[in-house]
Amino acid sequence: MCMNAIIEVQNLYLKYRFIKSLSFKDWILSTFIPSKRESKLMEFNALQNITFTIEKGKTVGIIGENGAGKSTLLKVLANVYEPDSGNVVINTNSSSLLTLATGFKSDLSGYENIYINGLLLGLSKEELDEKVDDIASFSELGEFLLNPVRTFSSGMKSKLAFSIACHVDPELLFIDEVFSVGDARFRKKSSKKIRELIQSERTVVMVSHSEELIQEMCDEVIWLDKGKLIAQGNTDDVMKEYITYSNR
Ligand X SMILES: Nc1ncnc2c1ncn2[C@@H]1O[C@H](COP(=O)(O)OP(=O)(O)OP(=O)(O)O)[C@@H](O)[C@H]1O
Residue number with CB closer to ligand X (67 or 148): 67
Q: Of 89, 83, 76, 102, nearest to 8 (Cα)?
A: 89
| Nearest distance in Å: CB 226, ligand X | 8
Please list the helix, strand and coil fractions of the chain in percent, rounded to the nearest 5, in that order: 40, 30, 30
Q: Of 2, 7, 14, nearest to 54 (Cα)?
A: 7
| Nearest distance in Å: CB 207, ligand X | 6
| CA 72 distance to own-chain centroid | 8
> Does residue 16 interact with ligand X by CB under 6 A?
yes
| Nearest distance in Å: CB 29, ligand X | 25
Residue number with CB closer to ligand X (68 or 181): 68
> Does residue 68 interact with ligand X by CB under 6 A?
yes
Q: Of 241, 231, 219, nearest to 60 (Cα)?
A: 219
- Name, in order, each residue with C-beta under 8 angstroms of 132's C-beta and a sequence gap of 6 or more: 111, 114, 115
Which one of 46, 194, 222, 229 is in contact with ligand X (CB under 6 A)?
46
Residue number with CB closer to ligand X (15 or 193): 15
> Does residue 70 interact with ligand X by CB under 6 A?
yes
Is the alpha carbon torsion for 19, 72, 135, 117 positive or negative? positive
Residue number with CB closer to ligand X (112 or 225): 225
Segment near ligand X (CB under 6 A), from 20-28, 69-77, 99-107, 143-151?
Answer: 69-77
Residues forming contacts to ligand X in the complex (CB under 6 A) are 16, 18, 44, 46, 64, 66-72
